[in-house]
Structure 1
Amino acid sequence: MSTQRQDEDGAMTAPTTIEWTVGPSRCEIRSGALHLWRIRTDADGIELAHALSLLGERQRARAARMRHLPYRERYVRAHAGLREILSRYLDAPPGALCFEYGPAGTPALAGAAVPLSFNLTTTGDLALVALCPGVGPRSDVGVDCEWIRPRHSIEAVAQRMFAPEVVRALESAPQDQRIARFYRAWTALEADAKADGRGLFRPRPAGAQPPAVLHCIPETGYIAAVARSALPPVPDWSTFDLLPQVWSAPAGASSIGR
């Protein structure tokens, strides 16, 4: 797979498709590496009762407030999957992990024995987790994934959200390429904003350098971007599928049933 970087004029070469392998039950990550995990959030994902049992109180409370059942189920599976993934690096039970949250709500591990930076994104029936060793500005990572589908007024959104050179590239592209270009630019913007935890509508601090951004296709119909101060080439990423396991629901576990 080739790396994808945003050009100065906002154009981007076509990203290639990620090739996934089954994620190991225990993981280590070397300095400078990037691991990307894929989580199913549809009915093929983690069994819901078990997934809910892995969440912390804050996550269970948020899930309970979600009235739209499909969104709730995707949220539960995505965050349970995140805990399952992190547990494989920390050698700790998924339900025992503790998080602290930044000003924009970005989670980080609290008191972890192994320093890890991670970021989660969900869209459609997928969630992705990008993970790097270390903590702090040079290690912080952001990931965004979008399900590519028709969207109205992309030019108006671009004018409000994108840099002028990206807007020009979008407006000059053939009509049948604009939606793909829009989502590439959007995922780059989101991943960039998530990499330093400032959120989408907070400006970059004065003098701060923008991160490197690389694109990939996690599966047909989706586009993803990863941002970090420095990134290894896409062929050097380790890309893992979190496969569902056959779980027995713990005694007394809550249900998020219909």
Structure 2
Amino acid sequence: MQRPNPSDAVPVPSIPSCDRGPIPTPVTWQPGPSQPELPERMVHLWRCCLTRSLSAADQAIVAADCDRAQAYGTQRRQQFLRGRWWLRQLLSLYLPEKPADFCFQLSPTGKPELPHTDLCFNLSHSGSTLLIAIARQPVGVDVEQPRSRSWLALARRYFPTAEQEAMQQSADCDRWGLASWVCKEAWIKAQGRTLANSLRHLACSWTATGQPCLQGLGSENSSIRLLQVDPQGQQWAAIASPDELDYQMWSASIILRNH
């Protein structure tokens, strides 16, 4: 495990217990364009489906990523390779290279990067849903679905004490815990940090409109959006960047139409 950065050991401010609680913004996924324009202060969030099987041609496209996937179990390996197939397809909408030509490298924390381009990206999956964020600045995304576990028990292990206390006074601990987790993980991924070294030093509270406010680790000026991925509210997601950016959210159906 990576040693904690001394700058991570920052006291987290107290969290007010009277906040309204999380209210995710419902997303309507419009079909994305075949040639997306990506301004400097824009994030494109794409929704993809992981149930698509990889053909022999698809397998050839992700062949360069197979070595990393060998350490995974069968199901996780298939999810990883399908995610990389979608990532390569989407990046080819922005760059002149073909999907098979991209050569990824890993940051010190294991985050995939594409050298020699200003594009930044991040991906997350839950069940059959894959979200991929693409921007020209660091960006992070996380998607989760409600679990049978107690989010308060998880908070006792990973969240600051002040946030645990605020959660216990809220109307719905599990709702708070789920929303807080996705917001924190999205921001941590945008920063290229590791979860283990960061969660204890980040606290999440909620504005009067139910949107997240992070405190700790220099996150106070970050831009965080809490999203309801599907109409039934079965999946929540968060997208994060260091600065205030605009967002466009699209379905990746354009890729399937081309295959």
- TM class by shorter-chain length? 0.7 to 0.9
Partners in 1 of 2:251 and 2:42 — Cα distance?
Answer: 17
Identify the match of residue 156 of structure 2 among 133, 156, 159: 159
Partners in 1 of 2:139 and 2:16 — Cα distance?
Answer: 24
Aligned to 1:200: 195
For residue 201 of structure 1, give the secondary structure of its aligned residue in structure 2. Answer: helix
Q: How does 1:65-144 map to 2 (within 5 A)?
A: 65-69=71-75, 71-112=76-117, 115-133=118-136, 139-144=137-142
Partners in 2 of 1:150 and 1:46 — Cα distance?
Answer: 29
Aligned to 2:224: 213
Shift of 1:35: 0.8
Identify the match of residue 239 of structure 1 among 228, 239, 249: 249
More moved, 80-89 vs 24-33? 24-33
Listed as ranges, the gaps of 5+ residues in structure 1 are 1-6, 134-138, 249-258
**Structure 1 95/68 Cα, relative in aligned 2: closer, same or farther at 3 Å?**
same
Aligned to 2:23: 14
Provide, for residues 225-256 of structure 1, a one-character-per-residue CA deviation record: whole Å limited to 9, x for no partner: 11111133xxx4211111252687xxxxxxxx
Shift of 1:123: 1.3
Partners in 2 of 1:247 and 1:128 — Cα distance?
Answer: 19
**Structure 1 172/102 Cα, relative in aligned 2: closer, same or farther at 3 Å?**
same
Matched-pair contact (CA < 8 Å) for 1:34–1:231: no
For residue 60 of structure 1, give the secondary structure of its aligned residue in structure 2. Answer: helix
Shift of 1:201: 1.8
Shift of 1:8: 4.9
Shift of 1:216: 0.5
How many matched pairs? 223
Listed as ranges, the gaps of 5+ residues in structure 2 are 1-13, 202-215
Matched-pair contact (CA < 8 Å) for 2:152–2:173: no
Aligned to 2:67: 61
Instruction: Say yes or no: does 1:171 pair with 2:168.
Output: yes
What do you get for the CA RMSD once the two structures are aligned? 2.4
Please identify runs of 4+ aligned residues in structure 1 that moved more than 6 A: none
Identify the match of residue 36 of structure 1 among 45, 49, 60: 45
Identity %: 27
